[in-house]
């Protein structure tokens, strides 16, 4: 039974967040929302322990579709980075600000870029494309993410400075247009670079938050050097080009690991 401790722990963490926010904000939505996400992630971890091939995809679809369709399209919450700036500027600690605090700013101190591996609705679609593992080394294009990050900030700040009215409505449409753009650019880049995760590596503005915080992540894949035979399989199957046999936090692309566990599942010596 000990092997099932991680999903139980994960569920307990999310239930703690759910109950705390429910009681402090007086809103039942937080209890339901974080309980649902916690149950989905715990289910994925349980399936992974049971060696289910599609464990990660199950979580991606459960969480990603919930956030994109229910929260985004039905409830009208802009959970993109523009929505985060919007709620931040209005001084509201709700919806996108809570989502960013938990999944993308403070959460990564605990679970690294687990968001990118298990919950992101952009990657949920990109991971269905044919180039699961990149055939070529990473390109030196990561600087683009700072431009998209700055553009999102300038866009929302500009709306506030220009005193544009009906911002809630604009944010809803920004969510739709932003997602269409993300998917279009992500799919074009995946085919151009033959790499499903090219968008994540070079364009996604959220990585400006995710990368520095995940540098300190508690949850990391580590290599047992006594077992490793340096066959290189882990690096070949990694969608993010991470050099996972280097245990230092400064390893090549050290803040890129999305905890997908492809390397762990493929290591012939069970060294990871």
**Closer by beta carbon to ligand SF4, 31 or else 240:** 240
> With CB under 6 A as the contact rule, which of the stretches 4-12, 32-40, 74-82, 238-246 interacts with ligand SF4?
238-246
Helix (H, G, I), strand (E, B) or coil at 146: helix
Candidates 179, 196, 207, 255; binder of ligand SF4 (CB under 6 A) is 207
**Closer by beta carbon to ligand SF4, 45 or else 204:** 204
**Residue 90 is a binding residue for ligand SF4 (CB under 6 A):** no
CB atoms within 10 A of CB 216: 13
Candidates 43, 61, 105, 228; binder of ligand SF4 (CB under 6 A) is 228
Under 8 Å between Cβ of 256 and 241: yes
Candidates 13, 95, 96, 238; binder of ligand SF4 (CB under 6 A) is 238
**Residue 17 is a binding residue for ligand SF4 (CB under 6 A):** no
Under 8 Å between Cβ of 246 and 234: no
Under 8 Å between Cβ of 78 and 90: no
**Residue 125 is a binding residue for ligand SF4 (CB under 6 A):** no
Pairwise CA distance, residues 220 & 26, whole Å: 35
Give the side-chain half-sphere CA count within 13 A for 160.
15
CB atoms within 10 A of CB 24: 10
Question: What residues make contact with ligand SF4 under the rule CB under 6 A?
Answer: 116, 120, 122-123, 199-200, 204, 206-207, 221, 223, 228-234, 238, 240, 242, 244-245, 257-263, 267-269, 271-272
């Amino acid at each position: 039974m000990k092997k099932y401790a991680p999903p139980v722990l994960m569920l307990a963490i999310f239930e703690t967040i759910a109950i705390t926010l429910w009681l402090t904000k007086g809103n039942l939505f937080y209890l339901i929302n974080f309980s649902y996400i916690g149950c989905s992630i715990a289910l994925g971890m349980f399936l992974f322990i049971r060696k289910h091939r599609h464990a990660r995809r199950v979580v991606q679809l459960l969480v990603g579709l919930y956030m994109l369709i229910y929260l985004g399209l039905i409830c009208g919450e802009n959970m993109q980075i523009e929505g985060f700036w919007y709620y931040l500027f209005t001084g509201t600690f709700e919806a996108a600000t809570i989502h960013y605090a938990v999944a993308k700013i403070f959460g990564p101190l605990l679970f690294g870029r687990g968001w990118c591996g298990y919950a992101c609705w952009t990657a949920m679609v990109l991971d269905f494309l044919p180039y699961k593992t990149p055939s070529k080394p990473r390109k030196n294009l990561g600087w683009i993410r700072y431009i998209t990050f700055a553009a999102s900030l300038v866009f929302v700040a500009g709306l506030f400075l220009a005193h544009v009215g009906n911002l809630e409505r604009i944010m809803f449409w920004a969510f739709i247009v932003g997602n269409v753009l993300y998917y279009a650019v992500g799919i074009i880049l995946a085919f151009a670079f033959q790499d499903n995760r090219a968008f994540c590596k070079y364009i996604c503005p959220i990585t400006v938050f995710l990368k520095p915080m995940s540098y300190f992540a508690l949850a990391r894949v580590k290599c047992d050097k006594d077992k490793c035979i340096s066959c290189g399989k882990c690096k070949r199957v990694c969608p993010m080009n991470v050099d996972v046999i280097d245990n230092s936090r400064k390893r090549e692309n050290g803040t890129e690991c999305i905890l997908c566990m492809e390397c762990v599942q493929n290591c012939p010596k069970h060294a990871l």
